[in-house]
Amino acid sequence: MTLLLSIILATTFFACDSSEEGNAQFDNWYPIELLIYIQDENAVDLLNYDSSYYIGNDFSFEYEGKKYNVERNISDEKGYNLLLIKDNDNNKYCVYFGKLNGYKDYDDTFTIRWKDGKEDKIRFYRKITGSLQSEDKWFLNDVDTKQSSPYGIFTLTR
């Protein structure tokens, strides 16, 4: 959890442009961020690139029609990041995707496409309800995960 809070705090300073939306409140919203852990049925970390279990090359991540590959750290022209990072709190690796504008409504889907043709879909829903208030929901394959924050944390089993 310490890693997640550090990521959120670090990216908050770079995620917002007060000219966007023409509203000074924009600067006060946390960006939308996503952490994905991938493990096997025995809870073995499949994103540890130093192990023989590493599957980072076996899937891609898609958002807004753009494909992101996990085997390298990248940023795109919108400033979205896809990073393979180590969560030192639980000694596991995860895929981090983030820096989405926190001051807007969402009903967006993130798609993980596996090499075997299967897909996992993570959907984020946000409705701005007031000054620094929102209704947030995260879904995994159309099932509500009961997460209600600007960051979603998912553990997928392969």
Q: What is the DSSP string of 57-76?
A: GGEEEEETTEEEETTS-EE-
What percent of the chain is predicted at pLDDT more than 90?
58
What pLDDT digit, counting tens, does each position of 4-57 carry? 444 444 444 344 443 444 444 555 788 999 999 999 999 999 999 889 999 988
Nearest to 59 by CA among 111, 110, 114: 114
- CB-CB contact of 123 with 108 (8 Å): yes
Give the Cα separation of 150 and 100 in Å (integer).
10
Give the Cα separation of 100 and 78 in Å (integer).
9
- Asked if pLDDT for residue 132 goes beyond 70, the answer is yes
What pLDDT digit, counting tens, does each position of 117-127 carry? 999 999 999 99
Amino acid at 108: D
The model carries a pTM of 0.80
